[in-house]
Chain A
Amino acid sequence: MNPLMRGMTQPRTRRDVFRIAGYSAAGLALAACGVQGQKAAPPKADAVADFWAGQKKNGKVVFANWPEYMPEDKGPLEKFKQDTGIAYEYKEVIQENAEFFGKVDPVLRAGQSLGYDIVVMTNGIQLQHMIELGYAVPLDHSKLPNFQANAGQKYKERAYDPGSKYTVPYTSGVTGIAYNTEFVKEEITSIESLFDPKYKGRVGMMADAQEIANFGMFALGIDPEKSTEADWRKAGEKLKAQSDAGIVRKYYDQSYIDAVAKGDVWLTMAWSGDVFQRQLAGEPVRFVVPAEGGTIWTDNMLIPKGAANPVDALMLMDYLYQPAVAAELDEFIQFVTPVPAVQDLLREKAKAAKGEEKKTLDDMIASALMFPTEADYAKLRSYTRLTTQQEQVFNPIFQSVTQA
């Protein structure tokens, strides 16, 4: 009997078995070492053509979006289906950029498909990562005529995606303060109300590092777009003091809107359109951009790498830029549409409307939070732009507050 056979067949003690298991584990360990970096080279000039040349329409599209971002009857998507014959699946699976990115990163890293053809992400660290890591398919602008014709200039030129290579905006919105008028008996105008001891235990803040950082900086009169590490630390201290004083009840994700509508918190950081939708539903909430400043952000549509139906996805993206479609969408979600022509369409609709509906539409048209003027835009700030290295300083400063 040769030694190998003997080794494999002769009785062995339990200890031997453990030892063998140990060796094989150690071997596997070596194999498992290292997580590969994925930094993508910028797309070559012909990369767009290369990718899109072989693609064709498949007749279906899977759209992954945030809650409260589509009318209940899915009107715009239904119209799209009628006009193009493309069936859609609409999934409200995104609640927070960070969490969503954390979930999709390993899948995309492994070169697998997410099963979504369009995903919507806010301009911020995670979207930056999606682009840097090559997780976003470069867009073929020859197939985006409506975007070209109807998108506002601001929405074609975005610092985080120059030339709209990878993304087109879905909608913009403003982070401000929402308050429950049943419990808050004064008019809130200042960010200082979020730091007011008389609302001890009744204030909600957002858990997202970039969101809360901006509010800390607004409270200190710092412009987040021009902020430095020293500014972040000051903002962190201000927010820490707010937390230590027991003023904050909790650091929220999307669930803040239920909390303020129910009165668990009386005032909270909030996203504009969420609050308007709740108002329409008759809930006692009001939204305000504090005098010190508010945050403007843009949610962007992109096609993730490995998407099964990229052509259909691109068609849907472009479809949403038809003014009539954009108007229907915005009338429901009440965020800032990237299509300026919507304001005129709503004006025409308001002329024809009567009573309550006319009043609602007139309010929308006049709203600085749905159709901001240049002066309104000037008061709003974006998130702080961070490199990967800066992010490793920035995140811990604010997470030590939100996750104490």
Chain B
Amino acid sequence: MRRLTPYLLALPSWMWLAIFLVVPMVAMASVSLQTGNAIDGFAMTFSFSNYSDAIGRYSTQLARSLLYGALATVAMLVIGYPVAYFIAFKAGARKSMFLFLLLLPFFVSFVLRTISWNFLLSDNGILFGTLKDWGLLPDDFHVLATTFAVVGGLTYNFLPFMILPIYVALERVDPRVVEAAHDLYATRAAAFRRVVLPLSLPGVFAGVLMTFVPATADPINAAILGGRSNTMIGNIIQTEYLTNLDYPTASALSFTLMAVLLVGIFVYARALGTENVLEAAAR
């Protein structure tokens, strides 16, 4: 019985995984190989061409999503690292207040926040309208319906997910090791580069993981802030699923996106020299 205990204890989480991850994934894999239509039903035909067709038709949007995801992730890293550093080392007693401020936007719905940006950045809205009236901006200046707006929206919406893991990693850096670096005649820059930065890399890794994946798949920002040619793969999957009722194509695209992201993550893990991706993310 004692030998069984760990398995029994793990049972709920296994069940959880089985019901909410494995079953839907298998069902989706099955649907992605079927052919038919929503009215007459779909039947399993092991049609692997669903994949090549879907990728062929939507390679532009797939590539664009990866590009936007990557741009947003870099922007988040550039903005997020200093913020996390500040909260971890400089905020002192106000640390928890800053962390709370970081989480505050989550009290408002994601979609609503994005729509507010649409309102704020409107061509003749309270911001640009005023600046245009003062003659500070040319009349045809606009931010909405551009790549910048979509990447900006993604950056804004996922930023906390970058900051928090980095903060957690930096928080754990023992001040004594930094002191030791200084004792060994390291300048502040050298101490950061050779001690603090390497110790925070697992946090950076987790942050990138938690932002790049959802940012790449997100349909909301492109739909609300984007324009004519900012369609991302998430929008395509949504249309295939909801409008065209083409469940096989939607499933095939979802799997393709998942595969591309996984490959990307493993390549990135290799590049960062992290031996074990899962371990780093969990640390």
Q: How distant is the Cα of A395 from the Cα of B244 in the complex, in angstroms?
A: 7
Give residues 231-289 of A contacting B (CB, 8 Å). Answer: 243, 246, 248-251, 262-264
A239 → chain B closest CB, angstroms:
11
Q: How distant is the Cα of A246 from the Cα of B145 in the complex, in angstroms?
A: 11
Which one of B188-196, B231-239, B263-271 contacts A? B231-239
- Specify the chain A residue showing the minimal Cβ separation from B232: A403
Most B C-beta atoms less than 10 A away, residue of A24, A35, A39, A101? A35
Contact of A250 with B38 in the complex, beta carbons under 8 Å: no
Contact of B41 with A38 in the complex, beta carbons under 8 Å: yes
B109 → chain A closest CB, angstroms:
16
Residues of B within 8 A of A400 (CB): 57
Contact of B18 with A24 in the complex, beta carbons under 8 Å: yes
Residues of B within 8 A of A29 (CB): 26-27, 29-30
Task: Say yes or no: is B256 at the interface (Cβ < 8 Å to chain A).
Answer: no
Residues of A within 8 A of B243 (CB): 98-99, 102, 209, 395, 399
Label chain B's interface by main secondary structure: mixed
Task: Scan A376-404; emit 1 where CB is below 8 A from any B CB, else 0.
Answer: 00000000000010001001100110011
Contact of B123 with A262 in the complex, beta carbons under 8 Å: yes
Give residues 274-318 of A contacting B (CB, 8 Å). Answer: none
B230 → chain A closest CB, angstroms:
9
Task: Say yes or no: is B241 at the interface (Cβ < 8 Å to chain A).
Answer: yes
- Specify the chain A residue showing the minimal Cβ separation from B226: A250
Task: Scan A29-54; emit 1 where CB is below 8 A from any B CB, else 0.
Answer: 10011111111000000000000000
Task: Say yes or no: is B34 at the interface (Cβ < 8 Å to chain A).
Answer: yes
Task: Say yes or no: is B52 at the interface (Cβ < 8 Å to chain A).
Answer: no
Q: How distant is the Cα of A25 from the Cα of B26 in the complex, in angstroms?
A: 7
Contact of B228 with A250 in the complex, beta carbons under 8 Å: yes
Task: Say yes or no: is A9 at the interface (Cβ < 8 Å to chain B).
Answer: yes
Task: Scan B5-49; emit 1 where CB is below 8 A from any A CB, else 0.
Answer: 001000000100010001100110111001011111111100000
Task: Say yes or no: is A105 at the interface (Cβ < 8 Å to chain B).
Answer: yes
- Specify the chain A residue showing the minimal Cβ separation from B140: A201
Task: Say yes or no: is B229 at the interface (Cβ < 8 Å to chain A).
Answer: yes
Task: Say yes or no: is A220 at the interface (Cβ < 8 Å to chain B).
Answer: no
Contact of B39 with A264 in the complex, beta carbons under 8 Å: no
Residues of A within 8 A of B93 (CB): none
- Specify the chain B residue showing the minimal Cβ separation from A32: B27
Task: Say yes or no: is A132 at the interface (Cβ < 8 Å to chain B).
Answer: yes
Task: Say yes or no: is B4 at the interface (Cβ < 8 Å to chain A).
Answer: yes
Contact of A262 with B227 in the complex, beta carbons under 8 Å: no
Task: Say yes or no: is A110 at the interface (Cβ < 8 Å to chain B).
Answer: no
Task: Say yes or no: is B254 at the interface (Cβ < 8 Å to chain A).
Answer: no
Residues of A within 8 A of B36 (CB): 35, 37
- Specify the chain B residue showing the minimal Cβ separation from A208: B243
A230 → chain B closest CB, angstroms:
21
Partner of A33, one of B18, B30, B37, B242: B30
Q: How distant is the Cα of A314 from the Cα of B30 in the complex, in angstroms?
A: 41
- Specify the chain A residue showing the minimal Cβ separation from B37: A388
Residues of B within 8 A of A25 (CB): 18, 22-23, 26
Residues of B within 8 A of A35 (CB): 31, 34, 36, 38, 41-42, 247
Residues of B within 8 A of A132 (CB): 39
Q: How distant is the Cα of A103 from the Cα of B241 in the complex, in angstroms?
A: 9
Known A34-B43, A36-B41, A399-B239; contact A404-B231, beta-carbon cutoff 8 A: yes
Task: Say yes or no: is B77 at the interface (Cβ < 8 Å to chain A).
Answer: no
- Specify the chain B residue showing the minimal Cβ separation from A8: B4
- Specify the chain B residue showing the minimal Cβ separation from A35: B42
B254 → chain A closest CB, angstroms:
15
- Specify the chain A residue showing the minimal Cβ separation from B236: A403
Most A C-beta atoms less than 10 A away, residue of B29, B30, B231, B236? B30
Task: Scan A99-113; emit 1 where CB is below 8 A from any B CB, else 0.
Answer: 101110100000000
Residues of B within 8 A of A264 (CB): 122-124, 142, 144-145
Residues of A within 8 A of B227 (CB): 249-250
A146 → chain B closest CB, angstroms:
34
Contact of A263 with B34 in the complex, beta carbons under 8 Å: no
A86 → chain B closest CB, angstroms:
32
Task: Say yes or no: is B214 at the interface (Cβ < 8 Å to chain A).
Answer: no
Task: Scan B79-111; emit 1 where CB is below 8 A from any A CB, else 0.
Answer: 000000000000000000000000000000000
Residues of B within 8 A of A37 (CB): 36, 38-42
A100 → chain B closest CB, angstroms:
9
B71 → chain A closest CB, angstroms:
19
Contact of B26 with A32 in the complex, beta carbons under 8 Å: yes
Task: Say yes or no: is B175 at the interface (Cβ < 8 Å to chain A).
Answer: no
Residues of A within 8 A of B231 (CB): 403-404
B52 → chain A closest CB, angstroms:
16
Q: How distant is the Cα of A26 from the Cα of B30 in the complex, in angstroms?
A: 10
Q: How distant is the Cα of A201 from the Cα of B144 in the complex, in angstroms?
A: 11
B64 → chain A closest CB, angstroms:
10
Q: How distant is the Cα of A98 from the Cα of B122 in the complex, in angstroms?
A: 27
B18 → chain A closest CB, angstroms:
7
Contact of A39 with B30 in the complex, beta carbons under 8 Å: no
Q: How distant is the Cα of A251 from the Cα of B239 in the complex, in angstroms?
A: 13
Known A36-B41, A129-B39; contact A249-B26, beta-carbon cutoff 8 A: no
Task: Say yes or no: is A1 at the interface (Cβ < 8 Å to chain B).
Answer: no
Task: Say yes or no: is A7 at the interface (Cβ < 8 Å to chain B).
Answer: no
Report 25 cross-chain contacts, Cβ distance below 8 Å, ordered by A residue. A9-B4, A21-B18, A25-B18, A33-B34, A35-B31, A35-B42, A37-B38, A37-B39, A102-B242, A102-B245, A103-B242, A249-B227, A249-B228, A250-B228, A262-B122, A262-B123, A263-B122, A264-B122, A264-B142, A264-B144, A392-B37, A395-B243, A395-B244, A399-B244, A400-B57
Given contacts A201-B145, A249-B227, A404-B231, 20 further A-B contacts (CB under 8 A): A32-B26, A33-B34, A33-B44, A35-B41, A35-B42, A37-B42, A98-B243, A99-B243, A105-B245, A129-B39, A132-B39, A243-B228, A250-B145, A251-B228, A264-B124, A392-B37, A399-B244, A403-B235, A403-B236, A403-B239
